[in-house]
Amino acid sequence: MRDGPRWQTIIDLLDQTFNDRVPADLAIRRWSKSARFAGSKDRRFIGDNLFDIFRQLGALKFQLAEAGGDINSARQIALLAAGAGAKELFDGSQHAPAAVSDNEGALLEKALAVEVPAEQAMALPDWAQAHFAASFGGDDAWRAEATALLSPASVDLRLRSAKDDRDDMLKTLGARGVDVDATPISPLGLRISGRFAAGDVPELNDGQLEIQDEASQLCALLVDAQPKMQVLDLCAGAGGKTLAMAGQMAGQGRLLAVDADDHKLEEGRRRVKRARWPHIELLHADALTAPEDALAGDWDRVLVDAPCSGSGTWRRAPDARWRMDADDLDALVELQGKLLDRAASLVKPGGLLCYVTCSMLSVENNQQIQSFMNRSSDFSVVDFDASWAAIFEDGEIPAVHRQEAGWMMTPALNGTDGFYMAVLKREA
């Protein structure tokens, strides 16, 4: 493909995300399946530029607004993102965007001259900026986290279990030319820098390795699922943390993974089959409405990996912040509270309720747990140091954002996705 047609594809994909709220990665996958003529370089160019636009969208919209443009126009946003050379790309040739009109040329020149304030460059929607400021306190802290979310994320992998030799895997992947290192904190993690070919890591296809961010790995490990326990993963999704906990349990005990999204659960079924953990059960059900007998068990651990804003993963999905609004966040906060209440009723005395989000917003994290504790006298917060020492007896306790009712790892502090976790013990 020539660059002109590539940019027309970018405009089409922007339209899908703006108007239909289709996730950018899904839009790209759908296009790739239909565009048999496109090569790997085309897909990379389109994907990289599309994601870069979402990372710059706050600045681009500000420039367009100041210049009198339409901030909801995919064409105008793409035109501005293409920059000074846009007229050569938008030339009206076959499959390329229509030629730049005189009015568009004047708009482009005016918009490019607009200086962007730092807060607009951080690409946080108005609703999110207020929550970031409230969640991290001082201006420097929340701005550092917002800025960190503009950088692409590394790819973290997790070994199937602690019995696997990480050093051997590092040597194997390194010999294939993969730029890989051990993750700084997770004992099961490997971190790939830069791009890699899927064929260079065949272990992803046979269950030896799974893609999972280091912070997510640590959340799963700190559930402290042990052999012969009964463990309930109430919002399992595609099973990333389910599989990590299965490794802790060494295939012994009962591990029930529940999710209302059958598409995610189907992916979980494939992953469970690859990983060869016989004690995992999968249940397609809504955690809030599933009958009691469907979730019956003497649960030592109940994990609520709650639906959330996903703000901690915006490095990987920079479009997601623009597909949400304040009403969406309010609905998620309400759902999280209901899930906590349902989960609490399932934990046996002495058992642990583990609450996890991939959010960095206090309203979904610390505030959510504090509200739960105010209405649930049977639970106490397990101290982070105690949780850590129970799993990593010889490990140095990492730097985390410590909060009244949990802890959080973030891109700026830890180089991971943003993840929050609270561990609560049922006393009676």
CATH number at residue 194: 3.30.70.1170
207 in the same domain as 227: no
- Side by side, the strands of the sheet bearing 155-159 are 180-182, 189-192, 155-159, 209-211
- Assigned domain for 226 exists: yes
In a domain, 132, yes or no: no
The whole-number pLDDT of residue 37 equals 86
- The DSSP code sequence of 202-267 is GGGTTTSEEE--HHHHHHHHTT---TT-EEEETT-TTSHHHHHHHHHHTT-SEEEEEES-HHHHHH
Q: Give the pLDDT confidence score for residue 19 in this predicted structure.
A: 86
Per-residue pLDDT for the chain (428 aa), expressed as one digit of tens each? 999 999 999 999 999 998 888 999 999 999 998 888 888 899 999 999 999 999 999 999 999 999 999 999 999 999 999 999 999 999 999 999 999 999 999 999 999 999 999 889 999 998 999 999 999 987 789 999 999 999 999 999 999 998 999 999 999 999 999 999 999 999 999 999 888 888 899 999 999 999 999 999 999 999 999 999 999 999 999 999 999 999 999 999 999 999 999 999 999 999 999 999 999 999 999 999 999 999 999 999 999 999 999 999 999 999 999 999 999 999 999 999 999 999 999 999 999 999 999 999 999 999 999 999 999 999 999 999 988 888 887 777 889 999 999 999 999 999 999 999 999 999 97
pLDDT of residue 117: 93
In terms of domains, do 235 and 198 share one?
Answer: no
Number of domains in the chain: 3
Compute CA 422 distance to the chain's CA centroid, rounded to the nearest angstrom: 18
d(CA 7, CA 330): 36
Same domain, 336 and 396: yes
Q: Which of 121, 143, 178 delimits the end of a domain?
A: 121
Please check whether residues 375 and 237 belong to one and the same domain. yes
Tell me: do 93 and 22 sit in the same domain. yes
Amino acid at 358: C
In a domain, 139, yes or no: no
**Residue 138 resides in a domain:** no
Boundary (domain end) residue, out of 211, 228, 258: 211
Q: Which domain holds residue 168?
A: 155-211
207/219 same-domain check: no
Residues 111 and 160 in one domain: no
d(CA 352, CA 382): 9
Whether residues 100 and 45 share a domain: the answer is yes
Is the same domain home to 65 and 163? no
Residue 255's φ and ψ, nearest 5 degrees, are -130, 110
239 in any annotated domain: yes
Residues 250 and 343 in one domain: yes
Q: Return the pLDDT at 397.
A: 86
Please tell me whether residues 362 and 325 are part of one structural domain: yes
Of 104, 121, 138, which residue is a domain's last? 121
Catalytic annotation, residues? 358
One domain for residues 166 and 301: no
Residue 69, helix vs strand vs coil: coil
Write out the two tokens for 350. 């002495």
Q: How many residues does the chain have?
A: 428
State the pairing for strand pair 406-409/419-426: antiparallel
Residue 50: phi, psi to the nearest 5? -65, -45
Instruction: Give which of 25, 313, 45, 264 is closest to 154, Cα–Cα.
Output: 313
What φ, ψ does residue 352 adopt, rounded to 5°? -115, 135
Nearest to 147 by CA among 420, 413, 427: 413
